[in-house]
Amino acid sequence: MTATADATPAASARQDGGYSSPLPTPRPHLGHALASEWTKLTSVRSTVWTLGSLVALVVGIGVFAVLQTGSADYKSIPFVAPALFGMMVGQLAVMVLGVLTVSSEYGTGLIRTTLTAAPDRLRVLTAKYLVFGAVAFGVTLGSVAFVGISAALLRNGPEAGYHGAGEWVGALGGCLYVTLLGVLALAVGALVRHSAGGIAIMLGLVTMPPVLGAILTGWPVSREIGLTVVRYNAPMGLIQLFGLPNSGMDGSPTPSDLAQLGLLVLVTALAVTASYVVVRRRDV
Amino acid sequence: MIEAVGLTKRFGAKTAVDGLSFQVKPGHVTGFLGPNGSGKSTTMRMILGLDRPTAGQVTINGLPFRELPNAQRHVGALLDAKAVHGGRRARAHLLSIAQLSGIPEKRVDEVLGVVGLQDAARQRTKGFSLGMGQRLGIATALLGDPQVLLFDEPVNGLDPEGILWVRNLMRQLAAEGRTVFVSSHLMSEMALTADHLIVIGRGRLLSDMSTQDFITHNSAGFARVRVAGNGPDGRVILGTALTKAGGRVLQEPDGALRVTGLELPRISDLAHETGVRLWELSPHRASLEEAYMRMTQSSVEYTSTDDPRAELWEPEPLTVPDWEEEVQAPVVPAETAASFFAPPPPGSAARPFLMPGSPADLAPAAQNSPEEPR
């Protein structure tokens, strides 16, 4: 058998004098892997639990907040702001699902079955990123949009003032931010191959910097570093993208939305690249 | 066709597989034997591109596994029955694997039928027994209807009916012209299933030959002789004659004689000459397991440390009869003395359960232990 693209079983059978199968032999492509990942993602309960809790948190807390507020409250904050409260907790669900998407395969040994069926590992990993990313973004966006539109419809009295398209773009950025955190979690899961380990790393990555930054600002030596950490971290980025006033500790200029997103894109890209390199090389 | 050339895998200082070269040809069931930790699974993982060889290479139909254009349609493998996500239903699991290579969905239902899991298709695999897991793993391997099949310990955890089914399935797959490569630690099972045996020990190739040749090369046959009435008189007369003729005679606990070094006709002639009537004169061949034990024992002997495995070896269950000038060996307790017709061969107590060829053989097996596999 040669390395030509479509070596049919009949061709190889001729060479071996062996068995030839009636099944079609397409060359596997990314689309096949995407279908497979979609099946995998939709056929386990952890997906339902994590995404379900995300929706419940964002929509539940968001709608509750909308009902508790009046039009006047939206004078200085965007309509999507109520979604942020649930999202602060809900982002953890996205990260947990991101880690589980790949670490559950390693934990159960399924990865060996998968990579035996599809030895082109990068195709499988790419499909994981794409399917998980699309699902996470879709669910996040849907929940945020529901809360935002509810607020816009229910609390659009004259007291609410003017609301431009910018805040919706910001919310879109916020959803992207949460999705990127999930993708980063998937990359971490692929690197550490362990559910609990991956989730712990992601929790630390998201919750530690604000605390750490605050501690660092306490000493004169590390004050500058501390302030930078306080301004650039995951919860702060999310708050800012959702258009809430950024309470800088010293009134220093807040970083732009793009800078917050760009930083996470950079970190995620590094982790994703590392995961590609490691998964391709490593013995399973 | 699987071809390994100088395959080597080191984990740190430990060499798991050491310069292994072999070929697995289509149309045969090839057994892959070796003690625990001898490198069987590592070799299989290298064949499947899961582990990267330290040196050497292994190809399937001339290509390394990871360069096959559609691996799943060429190679199917069962490595570990528990390599599934427990929360996923059996059918969804198979579907997700099938979709990876664009295998049609109806093939999933086909393989579920082949392995007899139709009724469990909607169950989550967490609740599967080990036997069901093995069946699901075999279904996964069959998904792509591949030419080359690898099975790592496929009969683990299967019931007798399942073992029989796997054995027939392997034979059928090989008869269709496929390459079937099966590792197992059940030697007697391999004797019934495999046409060809590759034996490794400590990561090195010990033997690569047909099952029949393997047994012939590694074990001596013997004749079992039972004199009329099973009485000691005839036994002594015949035993003396046989010993004088150059045979070696051992006495089994129930009184039968085990003769090596003489052809059956010669034994019959000697019995006739000495006027001893015989109730039994039967040829016996040492089982695959005995041959295998003998072979791997030698690879174990290279160790410099005390090897506790030595204690697992059975003491010789045979007594040296009176006419032998050697020291009287202790008589083995009667537990090995099973029945009149077929006393168990040496090492029988350590034999794993062996499924007879047909269910009908199962019932009398209690009284009459099954005949040697080959």
What span, in angstroms and rounded, lies between the C-alpha atoms of A7 and A15?
11
Interface membership of B65 toward A (CB under 8 Å)? yes
Measured between beta carbons, the chain A residues lying within 8 angstroms of B71 are: 116-119
Instruction: Identify the pLDDT of residue B309.
Output: 56
- Per-residue confidence at B164, pLDDT binned at 50, 70, 90? very high
A36 — alpha (psi -120 to 50), left (phi > 0) or beta? alpha
- Contact at CB, B92 and A43, closer than 8 angstroms: yes
What span, in angstroms and rounded, lies between the C-alpha atoms of A244 and A266?
24
Q: Tens digits of per-residue pLDDT, B127-158?
A: 999 889 999 999 999 999 999 999 999 988 88
- Per-residue confidence at B367, pLDDT binned at 50, 70, 90? very low
**pTM for the whole structure:** 0.78
Instruction: Identify the pLDDT of residue B44.
Output: 94
How large is the average pLDDT for residues A193-199? 95
- Contact at CB, A18 and B1, closer than 8 angstroms: yes
What span, in angstroms and rounded, lies between the C-alpha atoms of B165 and B299?
33
**Chain B contact probe: residue of A29, A116, A283 with most B CBs at under 10 A:** A116
**Which residue in the set A24, A25, A44 is minimally distant from B88, CB to CB?**
A44
Which residue in B9, B59, B29, B31 sits closest to B204, CA to CA? B9
pLDDT for B166 beyond 60:
yes
Instruction: Identify the pLDDT of residue B316.
Output: 52
Q: In Å, how far is A110's CA from the nearest CA of chain B?
A: 4
Q: In Å, how far is B75's CA from the nearest CA of chain A?
A: 8
Q: In Å, how far is B70's CA from the nearest CA of chain A?
A: 6
**Which residue in the set B48, B92, B145 is minimally distant from A23, CB to CB?**
B145
Instruction: Identify the pLDDT of residue B245.
Output: 87
Domain ranges of chain A: 31-281
Of A141-150, A168-177, B171-180, B213-222, the one with minimum mean pLDDT is B213-222
Query: What percentage of chain A carries pLDDT values higher than 90?
Result: 62
**Which residue in the set A5, A16, A27 is minimally distant from B26, CB to CB?**
A16
- Contact at CB, B178 and A112, closer than 8 angstroms: no
Distances (CA, A) of B284 to B11, B146, B229, B319, B346: 43, 39, 22, 18, 12
Instruction: Identify the pLDDT of residue B334.
Output: 43
Q: In Å, how far is B86's CA from the nearest CA of chain A?
A: 8
pLDDT for B370 beyond 50:
no
Instruction: Identify the pLDDT of residue A247.
Output: 54
Give me the residues of B, 86-145, that contact A with CB < 8 A.
86-89, 92-93, 95-104, 107, 137, 140, 143-145
- Per-residue confidence at A9, pLDDT binned at 50, 70, 90? very low
- Contact at CB, A43 and B88, closer than 8 angstroms: yes
- Contact at CB, B144 and A23, closer than 8 angstroms: yes
Q: The tokens of A42 are what?
A: 């939709």
Measured between beta carbons, the chain A residues lying within 8 angstroms of B75 are: 116
Instruction: Identify the pLDDT of residue A251.
Output: 53
Instruction: Identify the pLDDT of residue A156.
Output: 83
**Which residue in the set B80, B92, B100 is minimally distant from A112, CB to CB?**
B80
- Per-residue confidence at B190, pLDDT binned at 50, 70, 90? confident
Quote the mean pLDDT of chain B.
80
Quote the mean pLDDT of chain A.
88
- Per-residue confidence at A165, pLDDT binned at 50, 70, 90? confident
Give the CATH fold of the B2-216 domain: Rossmann fold (3.40.50)
pLDDT for A17 beyond 70:
no
Please tell me the CATH code under which domain B219-290 is placed. 3.30.70.100
What span, in angstroms and rounded, lies between the C-alpha atoms of B59 and B54?
15
Instruction: Identify the pLDDT of residue B346.
Output: 47
- Residue in chain A nearest B179 by alpha carbon: A18
Instruction: Identify the pLDDT of residue B80.
Output: 87
- Contact at CB, A23 and B73, closer than 8 angstroms: yes
Q: The tokens of B159 are what?
A: 């019931």
Task: Tell whether the torsion through CA atoms of B204, B210, B211 and B214 is positive or negative.
Answer: negative
What span, in angstroms and rounded, lies between the C-alpha atoms of B85 and B179?
28
- Per-residue confidence at B235, pLDDT binned at 50, 70, 90? confident
Residues, chain B: 374
Q: Tens digits of per-residue pLDDT, B319-366?
A: 555 555 444 444 444 444 333 344 444 444 444 444 444 555 444 444
Measured between beta carbons, the chain B residues lying within 8 angstroms of A195 are: none
Residue B285: what are its φ and ψ, rounded to 5°?
A: -125, 135
pLDDT for A14 beyond 50:
no
Q: In Å, how far is A41's CA from the nearest CA of chain B?
A: 10
Which position has the higher pLDDT, A248 or B159?
B159
Domain ranges of chain B: 2-216, 219-290
H runs (alpha helix) in B275-339? 288-300
Q: Burial code of A156-195, b = ≥16 C-beta within 10 A, e = fewer?
A: eeeebeebeeebbebbbbbbbbbbbbbbbbbbbbbbbbbb
With beta carbons less than 8 A apart as the criterion, state whether A150 and A120 touch. no
ipTM of the complex: 0.87
Of all helices (H) and strands (E), which one includes residue B208? Answer: strand B204-210
H runs (alpha helix) in chain A? 9-16, 30-42, 45-68, 81-108, 110-117, 121-154, 166-192, 195-217, 223-231, 234-241, 257-281
Measured between beta carbons, the chain A residues lying within 8 angstroms of B108 are: none
Q: Tens digits of per-residue pLDDT, B263-307?
A: 888 889 988 998 888 888 988 876 667 777 777 776 654 444 555
Instruction: Identify the pLDDT of residue B202.
Output: 85
Instruction: Identify the pLDDT of residue A253.
Output: 61
How large is the average pLDDT for residues B242-267? 85
**Chain A contact probe: residue of B24, B68, B85 with most A CBs at under 10 A:** B85
Instruction: Identify the pLDDT of residue B122.
Output: 93
Q: Tens digits of per-residue pLDDT, B54-98?
A: 999 999 999 999 999 899 999 999 998 888 999 999 999 999 999
Instruction: Identify the pLDDT of residue B322.
Output: 55
Instruction: Identify the pLDDT of residue B312.
Output: 57
How large is the average pLDDT for residues A161-190? 92
pLDDT for B21 beyond 70:
yes
Which position has the higher pLDDT, B203 or A274?
A274
Give me the residues of B, 40-59, that contact A with CB < 8 A.
45, 48-52
Q: Tens digits of per-residue pLDDT, A233-250?
A: 888 889 888 887 655 445
- Contact at CB, B50 and A112, closer than 8 angstroms: yes
Query: What percentage of chain A carries pLDDT values higher than 70?
Result: 90
With beta carbons less than 8 A apart as the criterion, state whether B121 and B151 touch. no
- Contact at CB, B147 and A21, closer than 8 angstroms: yes
